[in-house]
Structure 1
Amino acid sequence: MMSEDLLNTLEDLGDEEFNKFKWFLQQTDVIQGPMTIKKSRLETTSRWDTVDLMVQTYRLSGAVEVTRRVLERISRNDLLLSLSVIRSRPEVVHNIFITLFDTDVMVPVPEPQPITHYQQMLQSNFQDKFMCAQEGWAEDIQRLADIYTELYITAGYDIHINIQHEVRQIEKAWKPEETEKAVKPTDIFKHPSGEYRPIKTVMTNGIAGIGKTFLVHKFVLDWAEQRSNQDVHLVFPFTFRQLNRLKGEKFSLAELIHECIPETVGITEEALNYIFKDIQSSGITNYDKSKFKLLFVFDGLDESRLHLDFHSEDIRSVDVTKSTKTDVLLRKLINGKLLRSAHIWITTRPAAANQIPREFISSTTEVRGFTDPQKEEYFRKRFKGKEQAVKIISHIKTTGSLHIMCHIPVFCWITATVLEDVLKTRGGQLPKTLTEMYAEFLVFQIDRTKEKYGPQKSIEYIKSLAKLAFQQLDKGNLIFYEKDLRKSSTDVSEASVCSGVFTEIFKEERGRKGKDEMFSFVHLSVQEFLAALYVRMSLNNSNINVMPLPQPSLKNLRLLLSKTSSKKIHRISIDRALQSPNGHLDLFLRFLLGLSLQTNQDKLQDLLMTKDSGTETNRKTVQYIKKKLNENLSPDRCINLFHCLNELNDRSLVEEIQQSLSSGSLSTDQLSSAQWSALVFILLSSEKDLDVFDLKKYSASEEALLRLLPVVKASHRALISFTVCLYLFSRLSGCNLSERSCGAMLSVISSRSTNLRELDLNNNDLWDSGVKLLSVGLESLHCTLEALRLSGCLITQDGCTSLVLALNSNPSHLRELDLSYNHPGDSGMKLLSSLLDDPRWRLNTLRKCEYSCDLKLDTNSVHRKLKLSDNNRRVTAVTEEQPYPDHPERFEYWLQLLCTNGLTGRCYWEVEWSGEVHISVTYRGVTGRGGSNDSRFGVNSQSWSLRCSGADQYSVCHNNRRTDLSFSSSSSSSSVSNRVAVYVDCPAGTLSFYRVSSDTLIHLHTFNTTFTQTLYPGFWLLSYGSSVSLCSL
């Protein structure tokens, strides 16, 4: 029986019958049990929604029985017949309390109660607890349903450690990908593949402020209100902040639940211990087969101070009913030694994810924050006035840094708080930079507290918080306890007062009996802003530098000996941020530089007693940043420096490149490192350019590829077709350069954060050595390429073997593989063909040699001193004129002819030549009459030629430009062949010539252009006796 069968049954009901059906679902005398469905949940449901509700509430077998009972009441005996076959199956039991409530087993102690009794009691208590929530850190509590906006959640986030600054993570990953698997909050324990697989432990990752705790609250509330996951009997939501205070103390599991979750008080320890012992003794590991179905939620692993050492050799068994250390209980629950069938859900920031070994995690998800539509929905909910909401959304869209940061829900709240205040009280210009936004946020908080506590006290509290923020940020602390404060010479009582005054900046959580105070700033970015403010206050107010000085060296001796100044502090801070391996000072640096602007200092005049206008200082800081951009910095470091320039209101580099891009006059040949970095920054900031990255738009060179690698990584589709003049034995400048490119692409396709789905490397001389490097990336589980094009890349059997072996390790993504115009040999062909037959592969397109053209010589165009033979497949230059009839397209001056084939797609052909000839492609407009350059192949703008001579010499010609192609002596002596291959890709604008030697293609030259007309193959024979023959493939 499938849910679809129930849906078909309901669709056979008329509208009035369907309304009656829903009414009966609310009646206990019909259901004969306590689990009716509430009227509020059924009022507007469709037929398919009703089926979902029934299956969630009663499971599938119970839903069938409920449907049967209701159909009897509404006299639809015909539909009952369609269910009779299903009811006769052995798996459907007709005892209503087994069928409907097969999960409603009894808990016999302290007095017999069905498990649903405790379930409904806990749901009722949780409704009261989770119905309301604080948005951001506002004091006002609101209904969760009124303020909650759906989050974008994805499946399959890797649980390796990510130490990169979280703002950089959101800046990299804010754009949802087409191939990502979105996860509904209600489906968190379903396998992302859609297939049934038992899942025990789910880890949900997400940066600070992204909405993990809100997600947990919404999940529990939906369960409590019977909206979802009604198969779960009991939910136990813990936070690591709660558990930290109990470190070292001993509890039984039931005692720990009562200690941390007061709403469970109605479930006695005796009842809980019975449930736990029953699960423990059953030996069942599958949640779906367990008699009692439990879910433990542990929110905030990154805040844990418990000893969770999963590698210790602690093999002792634990009695779930006896007192045990808190961290041991948690460890045993997570590693499956306790309550093996219970669901476990853990949330964490990425940097702490590796605290739990991969082997104990069944499934991973990632909270990515708001998509663009979700972001707009948030602001429309927040601002009831449509005009105001539209204005704010428009402002955010046009302000790059704000637009990206607003993918973080908590930053949306900060932004809404600030913009609402600015529009309401001042009506001034809306903030455009992060520093402006946080300065306004701080001013808003100060103004709110001045009236209650007085201006002086309010300012003193902020100064204390700024000092604390700086000291703890320098130590890397986001959460700190009394002992941390003492080490920083901070008074605990003063910190406690601050938390009561600035509830939206700093907060305190007390442990049992008022002990074990724990403090934190509400978000890492708030701590970073206040830390930067402390540095600025120390400089402006006391002329003191609180930044740690670098180690003395000849390079920085002059800086260290100079007097304290903004310039000195800026340079020290820039250097420190650039040296940070994980970018943990990136945002701090942006704020520090932004606070040097007069406009921001004016906003904070209550805190900054003297102003440092710093116009000259900021000019020198801008120069220093641009100097750094010309050094060999990583892309991440460069991007943050451009954000720093933005905070300083300097956009000169970006605007210079932007103007060149807009006018089409960008010349990458003369770009400095700083200008290359500006181009990368612009492209990464553009949604349009991230969809398809075409290297030829900027420069068809390997240098451009290496410079623009971050853009390739962020793009969905990359077209990388360029020619680096590589010859068979040019080892230093050729092969090493080509392998360098493949090594760079290896880093892109194997990165977990890459967006790349299509990679076009057609007509590049990668050789087997380059393909072997690419194969290392292809076998990575992070590689999610769906299309890989390697046509004409000089790949032989060895390269094909490497590809097949690599793809066998990661077969689930690639759909299209183009290996046409390579030389795989018979064994390579068999290996490639086997890919299509392997059921593990998603590959459905394999191109091996599909573009061969059967050329036909055009007898209407052939010169009269060119003799055709061999069924018109060979042409020879002769002294005697041939008796060809007159024709307007016949060549009369140069010994040339065309083929009849008009080329518009991809085509490949081979010819044998002797003497001295041109092998060409041309537009039809090349005239056959007269001796001008307009009719000579390769000497005008409408034709392209490869000139071949008897001394094994080659040159290429176009528009009266000739380039000689030379070979080393070893190349010339190796199996000399007068066979040439031509491959043209008209849509891509590439025309490649190859020398064919012993079934190996040796690349000669590739033209990169834009073809505007149909192309025709042609030949020009320069001397009598020369010949050209079309080869059969």
Structure 2
Amino acid sequence: MAGRGSDTMEHDGGETISDVSFPLGEGVSGRGRSTISMSDEGEEAFYVPERRPSLDLGDGLRPMDTTHWHDVERAQSPVHSYNSVNSDTQFWPSDELDEETELSATRVQLERTESYSSGYSVDSDCETRTRKSQDAAPKEEGPAVEPPRPELIKNPDEKRHPALTVDFTFKAIRKTLEKLGKDDLRIFKITLWKRYPESFSSPPQGMDMVDLVDRLLEFYDLEVALQLTKALLKDMGLKRLDAYITDLCKKNEVRYELRGTLLRKYSWMCEGVAQQGEHKAFESIFNELYITDRGNAGPNIEHEVRKIDKLSTNRKEEKRITCSQIFDPDVIYEKHVSHIVTNGIAGVGKSMAVQKFIMDWAEERKHNHVYFLFPLPFKELNLMLKLKISLLEIVHTLYPETKALPTFECDEGKVMFICDGLDEYAHSLDFHRTETWCDSTEPAAMHVVVTNLIRGNLLPSSLLWIISRPLTSSRLPAESVHQVLEVRGFTNEQKEEYFRRRFQDPAQADKVIAHLTSCKTLHIMCHLPMFCCVVREVFQQTFREKGPDAELPKGLTLMYTRLLLVHLHVRGARGSASRTPEEERDFLMNLGKLAFTMLEKNQMVIGKATWKDCGVDVAEAVTNSGLCIEFLIEQFVMYQERIQTFIHPTIQEYLAALYVFLTWRCTGQNVLQQPRNSKFSRIFKDPGLLDMHRSAIERSLQSPDGNLDVFLRFLLGMAQTANQELLQRFLPDNNKCSSASEETAAIIRKKIKENHYPDRNANLQCCLDELGVGAEAPRRSRSNSVKNQ
């Protein structure tokens, strides 16, 4: 091009645009809008001569004919803000326009106003524009064809997808335009101005990104704004960005539908062994849990009577966190944590924590940095064990709305998987021999997919949350676990909050809380949400049957028997091998014998040899039944030992009492005394029961540290009618025994009256509560007999 030459820039679509830059002069200000393409007259239609100090034609021979200058000066602009294009305003700074852009705009003004002849040049203090002679103009075979302006039509019958919101549309268009280079963005604005000038009161070249997108959404419907953006990107040859914004919209729709699926699936909660119709809204009953970053703290050993030395587990100080702080963005990005394992004993609230996390994400309250959330319960994965399947197909099977996506990888946020119930997985995981698998779209055996998901080979940038009982989670490879959390149930404040939520009548709630506070063992065990559920059901039944002023039951045995049945029910629901009632009874008696033997020695830790002697499988006791727990203790630096105990000392005492009672019912043998003639013991059931109670009372009183006190309460409560009804499937079909409550109560009252063991009188009073009979003597304060609190 004459004057300054030209540079060219080629875009994705092959379009070549002249890059000649100059500011607009006053001589062409005030011209109307144009919709003529920049290529209407060819890139050589105009040129910019050198700037001169005087108004002449450049040869100094004659003055310039300024006939038309006056008319141009007085021309009125149909665009009110267009005068600002020539100044240093925000709309059109000269350094943002390329030469062809300004040249095209100038040409439009000249042609539409016809205010001066093409044979003259304009020379002033501003830069000049000179119309080249027609001889120099290239020959045109016909008028240049402007790409057709896309029709922006919204179908009134088409229902807008609920995911298409103003907020999403704004972010989608903005993120797409931010991927444009500086030159492409300038061309986008120019094309937008030329094709849709009615949407702007002034050229958009000076607008920042926020103002530009705001203006589009103010003038057009959401669908039309997206349609317009995609059309311009396509015309510019930017097909990848067109596909990008289309993909954003599709992912947003899938995300919306996924949230809806999770809300329908997790909005309801059943506690304990809920019957049909007993599901309740999760948000109405959930309260926070006690969660720490100390993953192997061991069982709760708080006890009403016994003094139990706490085992050294982890020496670091623990930090308490809430459900909403799990996978906090600061932890993810600053500490590079992407794999978290959360463990805890049975009934401690792990599933409740998972449900809270999912609900917070689905309702958009928390975890907005997670774009896709896919819970993968292992009880559902167990149904696919025989299939050869890919990770992508697993997600498509569990969440069909995701089939619209070929992959889950995205730049908009993290993809997160929740592997709930690793201990329920029916296939063993071998992290040493299982083959490496890195393609999330290629089918493989289920254990290969699960193993490599945990290793981090499938979707390495994703987040993974594994929930399990301690025995299974401790087998995971250390390099695949970035943080270990532990759910410990409820604190004292959370226990109170739980019962206030469950009992709508404040008077009943106060009565329940006061009752639990007075029964220390019940109050301690309420650190387990599952036990709280059992207590709630018993108390609600009492209020229903006896009225709001009813006295609440003080016994422990009935509560623990219900808890045992819940554990056994959960074991069956987890897919464990079914057992006959006789096999279930044998398992309980073997575990109870182990508990009784250790209780007599005042031991908590179960040794390896002990497991072999009692004939109980460790995994069955720890993982399946959930009555025991495995954790790590630090013997010395850099050496840890795995040990097993019962989940709470009172569970050990209950199982020991159950063993003694079932042995007597099934064989007639009193394990608390020397074996008797079984023929006579079977004939005299009731006297045998009374003898067993008498021997148990004597042994408890003679125990110097009180380690049999709570055991005695459980044993006396076993023979009560309500408790035997719950244990009916484990009892023989022969004659039922009476509870011998009054005879046993008479023995206990006599012991209290004799007062040979004053520090045990409070426990004897509790034994009367367990028998369900009143006490003749005034009850002493239990606090006098509580030792080592």
User: Which TM-score band (shorter chain)?
Assistant: 0.3 to 0.5
Q: Provide the TM-score with structure 1 as the length reference.
A: 0.37
- If asked which structure has higher relative contact order (CA below 8 Å, sep 6+), I would say 2
> Relative to total residues, which structure has the larger strand share, 1 or 2?
1
Q: Provide the TM-score with structure 2 as the length reference.
A: 0.47
